[in-house]
């Protein structure tokens, strides 16, 4: 991975796109990707904020408290997510009482690849809850 401190905000955003979207989606949807990049650049993540995120991911663990969740819980996960392994969805669903887990076979981290399906699952969950 490149040293983020030597990259421009745009280079960082462009470097991260393949970690949040599938290669096919990136290639076939420039009308989504370019506006996404421009929106992200309006409020770029500082190096300090990035390091805080990394620290939180590495050191903040609430797994033991997941069983205390009482609210209806919907877990959405892309099967092609390279940032968070899809197995993590199952781990969450097993730990949260009555959680509903839905995988999206053709999606990566931000689920943009299957947005219509995602929206329908969300609507159905909200109606049922």
- Among 9, 30, 60, the domain boundary falls at 60
Q: What is the rounded CA–CA span in Å between residue 15 and residue 89?
A: 25
Q: How many domains does the chain have?
A: 2
Q: What is the pLDDT along the chain (129 residues), one digit of tens a residue?
A: 567 778 888 998 999 999 999 999 999 999 999 999 999 999 888 888 888 988 998 898 999 999 999 999 999 999 999 999 999 999 999 999 999 999 999 999 999 999 999 999 999 999 998
pLDDT at position 120 is: 98
- If asked whether residues 56 and 70 sit together in one domain, one would say no
- If asked whether residues 4 and 54 sit together in one domain, one would say yes
Cβ partners under 8 Å of residue 29, min gap 6: 112
- Among 60, 84, 100, the domain boundary falls at 60
pLDDT at position 47 is: 81
- If asked whether residues 70 and 26 sit together in one domain, one would say no
Are 77 and 117 in contact by the 8 Å Cβ rule? The answer is: no
pLDDT at position 21 is: 95
Q: Is residue 55 exposed (0-12), middle (13-18) or buried (19+ Cβ within 10 Å)?
A: exposed
pLDDT at position 46 is: 80
- If asked whether residues 55 and 77 sit together in one domain, one would say no
pLDDT at position 3 is: 72
What global pTM score does this model have? 0.83
The candidate with the shortest Cα–Cα distance to 37, out of 26, 52, 48, is: 26
Domain that holds residue 80: 66-129
């Amino acid at each position: 991975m490149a040293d983020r401190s030597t990259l421009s905000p745009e280079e960082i955003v462009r470097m991260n796109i393949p970690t949040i979207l599938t290669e096919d989606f990136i290639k076939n949807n420039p009308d989504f990707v370019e506006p996404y990049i421009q929106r992200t650049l309006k409020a770029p993540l500082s190096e300090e904020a990035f390091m805080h995120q990394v620290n939180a991911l590495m050191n903040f663990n609430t797994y033991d408290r997941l069983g205390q969740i009482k609210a209806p819980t919907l877990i959405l996960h892309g099967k092609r997510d390279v940032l968070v392994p899809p197995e993590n969805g199952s781990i969450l669903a097993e730990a949260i009482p009555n959680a509903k887990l839905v995988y999206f076979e053709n999606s990566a981290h931000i689920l943009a690849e299957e947005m219509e399906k995602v929206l329908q699952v969300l609507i159905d969950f909200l109606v049922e809850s």
